[in-house]
Amino acid sequence: MKIEIIGAGAVGLLHGARLALGGAQVRMLTRGKEQAELLAREGIRLSRGGEAVDVAVEASTLQDAATAEAEASALQDAAKAEAGRNEREGRWHVLAVKQTALGPDLLRQLAALLRPGDSLLCLQNGIGHLEQLARTLPGIRLYAGVTSEGALRVGAREVVHAGAGELHYGPAPGADGSASADPLLAGWRQALQRAGIAAFLSNDVEDRIYRKLLLNAVINPLTALLDVPNGRLPEHPQGIRLMKALHEESLSILVSAGFAATGEEWERLLDVCRRTAANTSSMLADVRAGRPTEIASINGELARLAARHGVPAPLNEAAAALVHALE
């Protein structure tokens, strides 16, 4: 199966390498030309369990792929009008960029790259982007996914598989068309299986998205503001009090939006801090590197969700404003 991975950060490189090792035909679509050339020449270096392997993949910039697709599409339309020829087969795409990259340029490139009948699995943290993608990409089968695989990018073509996790995915909430009607799904599931990726297809992926959002809404801004690794947050005297307050508010916003709480959310939050104790959260890493953070799609979107449901969100608003001030 042909799979295009958009974005060659840690998550994109990890999935690209594993899917290619499993036998899928993988093309990595990057934003920078240098990285695309490097990947095409030398492949992805995947390290796990102390061993490294170089995995051959195709690669191109997203811009070049989008331009080629737009030209092919125009030619095909002309040929089709003349001779009734078929369009190209549908393709499976994985969108593995951060929400901060989802600006007008990238959306325009996606609209040129994807054609009706293609499928797009979105692996972003936070919420808000799926609605925007559905508006920009009519006719594309949208899936949302949450992955807990540990991935660390250590070079432009090098990724460490730092811990086994799971991929939970399913039709994006509110997207047209059901997964059962997707002719590409069987091939994609087989590709995942051959790659050894523990993946679960669900019709209720929103529940997973909200669970992950709850973790990110507490750990990410607080580790960024207090400048501590995940494991230090609950030990920090102010950290634990702020965690409790932000968790309580975020949970009640999600419940008002339909999330079915189990009562185990707080324990799970502490457990994630324990299990990722040495990690620098992605938001703290962004702040330290001077990159824009995902705060708008995490706490900013939670505050917007609260407003839609008429519940207060002063702590999420404050967290968003403070992290913006750090950026």
Among 28, 215, 253, 320, binds ligand KPL (CB under 6 A): 215
Q: How many CA atoms lie within 13 A of 36 on its CB side?
A: 18
- Least distance in Å: CB of 225 to ligand KPL? 14
User: Does residue 65 interact with ligand KPL by CB under 6 A?
Assistant: no
User: Does residue 219 interact with ligand KPL by CB under 6 A?
Assistant: yes
d(CA 77, CA 73) in angstroms, rounded, equals 6
- Phi and psi at 115, nearest 5°, equal -125, 155
Pick the stretch among 15-23, 215-223, 231-239, 300-308 that binds ligand KPL (CB under 6 A). 215-223
Amino acid at 146: V
- Least distance in Å: CB of 74 to ligand KPL? 40
Among 60, 124, 216, 293, binds ligand KPL (CB under 6 A): 216
Please tell me which residue in 2, 33, 98, 212 is annotated as part of the active site: 212
State how far Cα 237 lies from the chain centre. 32
Among 276, 297, 299, 316, binds ligand KPL (CB under 6 A): 276
User: Does residue 282 interact with ligand KPL by CB under 6 A?
Assistant: yes
Structure tokens at 134: 């559905």
- Least distance in Å: CB of 215 to ligand KPL? 5
- Least distance in Å: CB of 260 to ligand KPL? 21
d(CA 25, CA 46) in angstroms, rounded, equals 17
Interface of this chain with ligand KPL, residues 230 to 249, rule: CB under 6 A: 230
Q: How many residues bind ligand KPL (CB under 6 A)?
A: 11
State how far Cα 147 lies from the chain centre. 8
d(CA 199, CA 145) in angstroms, rounded, equals 10
User: The dihedral of CA 111, 9, 30, 50: what is its sign?
Assistant: negative
Residue corresponding to tokens 């060659």: 8
Amino acid at 184: L
d(CA 229, CA 284) in angstroms, rounded, equals 8
Alpha helix (H) ranges present in the chain? 10-21, 33-42, 62-83, 104-113, 129-136, 185-195, 205-226, 237-256, 265-275, 282-289, 299-308, 314-326
User: Does residue 279 interact with ligand KPL by CB under 6 A?
Assistant: yes
- Least distance in Å: CB of 212 to ligand KPL? 7
212 annotated active-site: yes
Binding mask 113-132 for ligand KPL (x = CB under 6 A): ------------x-------
- Least distance in Å: CB of 256 to ligand KPL? 23
User: Does residue 109 interact with ligand KPL by CB under 6 A?
Assistant: no
Residues annotated catalytic, as ranges: 212
Give me the residues that bind ligand KPL (CB under 6 A), please: 125, 215-216, 219-220, 230, 272, 276, 279, 281-282
